Amino acid sequence: MWTDVRAELVKQARRPADWLLLAVALVLSLTFGYVVPYAGYVSGSPVGGRGIVTMLPREFVGTALGGLPIFIGALGLIFGVLVAGGEYGWGTWKSVLSQRPSRVQVYSAKLAAVATGVLILVVALFVVAAVASTVVAGLVGAPLTWPGALDVLRGLAAGWLIGMMWGSLGVVLAIALRGTALPIGLGLVWMLAVQNLLASVAAPLLTWVAELQKGLPGPNAGALVAALGTSPGTPGVDPIVGSGQAVLVVAVYLVAFCATGGLLFHRRDIA
């Protein structure tokens, strides 16, 4: 099993697209978490939420997590699709499965690679946010006050949970649709369009849609990061449920996506 995980990690570590996704995620997080808000702050425009406070070190956990419910989550989904779907595109499932491993082993190694990649992403987001918040504190002459270690660990765990949920959604879409293009397209439509329409158009009009929101993955991810300090003005972030329910719902989706992907992969022929 470990040799399969190691082989999978080598594949992903040497794949340029994975590093591009990470770079895009960091640039987006930095741009919309610090650069744009700080530019607005300097120019006297309203920053939204709690203003400059969200850019200071004490709030860096919430700012680092801010993109995960939507746009950085979308990159996590793309990562999951690439990890599993690339094997269909290149026809390499047969090369891997003609060697010795069982499908359970290979699928588990895929999930391990996604989990590792998401962990690297979340840690990198935290490091970039911490550095950026230090710079902002220096620029505005604010004290370097950091959140407690437990808060940071809690934020990392929540970030990983949300990122892994989106990544595993990418994996299951890739396996269900046997490729990369359509899963990425459909996944992004869901995350960037449907979720947004439900929240901003349907939910205010229909009570049952508003209730439904409380069981969907995106709104629960948004509620979870809101509980950890992300400004409610951030897209996709709204404390519609408590943190306990949010963790539970996101975890249930994660398990459901992983199980569905595994079941499909185990039962289907490799054409």
What phi, psi does 96 have (nearest 5°)?
-70, -50
Q: Pick the closer one to another protein by CB: 17 or 193.
A: 17
Residue 95 CB, nearest approach to another protein (Å)? 5
Name which position in 48, 91, 138, 242 contacts another protein (CB under 8 A): 91
3-12: long-range contacts (C-beta < 8 A, 24 or more apart)? 4/101, 4/105, 4/106, 4/108, 4/109, 5/108, 5/109, 5/112, 5/113, 7/109, 8/83, 8/109, 8/110, 8/112, 8/113, 9/112, 9/113, 9/116, 11/113, 12/83, 12/113, 12/116, 12/117
Among residue numbers 97 through 116, which ones bind another protein (CB under 8 A)? 97-102, 106
Task: Tell me the two tokens of residue 96.
Answer: 């891997």
- Please count the residues of this chain forming the interface with another protein, following the rule CB under 8 A: 27
Site string for another protein, 9-48 (x = CB under 8 A): -xx--xxx--------------------------------
- Cα separation, 158 vs 192, in Å, equals 21
Q: Which stretch in 43-51, 89-97, 166-174, 250-258 sits in contact with another protein by CB under 8 A?
A: 89-97
In this chain, which of 4, 52, 174, 230 binds another protein, going by CB under 8 A?
Answer: 4
Tokens standing for 238?
Answer: 């709204």
Between residues 97 and 119, which has the closer beta carbon with respect to another protein?
97
Instruction: Figure out which of the listed residues 43, 46, 149, 269 binds another protein, where binding follows CB under 8 A.
Output: 269
Half-sphere exposure of 83 (CA within 13 A, CB side): 38
Report in angstroms how near the CB of residue 142 gets to another protein at its nearest.
44
Determine if 92 is a binding residue for another protein (CB under 8 A): yes
Residue 35: other Cβ atoms inside 10 A:
14
- Note the residues at the interface with another protein (CB under 8 A): 3-4, 6-7, 10-11, 14-16, 86, 90-102, 106, 269-271
